[in-house]
Amino acid sequence: MSTLSKLRRLVLRQDVSVREASRRLGISRNTATKWLKDGQMAEPRYPQRVSGPSILDPYKEQLSQWLKADSHRS
């Protein structure tokens, strides 16, 4: 069930306040109000983020060596 469906069910059927419903669902109160006001039946779709290389990638080998060397301390 989508977040929008859950929001509509909580607010319109179960008489939960928008503030409480947004807290339960983990969304902004302003977003919840906007979704309910628009009356759209579909959540907005956002493009998936493309993650680049990690900042630590060049240091992975050195970090692994350091962790192996210090493993006897724990």
CA distance 59 to 17: 50
What is the structure's pLDDT at 39? Answer: 72
What is the structure's pLDDT at 30? Answer: 93
Q: Flag whether the pTM goes above 0.75.
A: no
Q: Answer whether residue 60 shows pLDDT above 90.
A: yes
Name the percent of the chain lying above pLDDT 90.
Answer: 54
- DSSP labels, the chain: --HHHHHHIIIIIS---HHHHHHHHT--HHHHHHHHHH--SSPPP-PPP-----TTGGGHHHHHHHHHHTGGG-
Q: Answer whether residue 1 shows pLDDT above 80.
A: no
- pLDDT tens figures, 20-56: 999 999 999 999 998 888 876 666 677 888 889 999 9
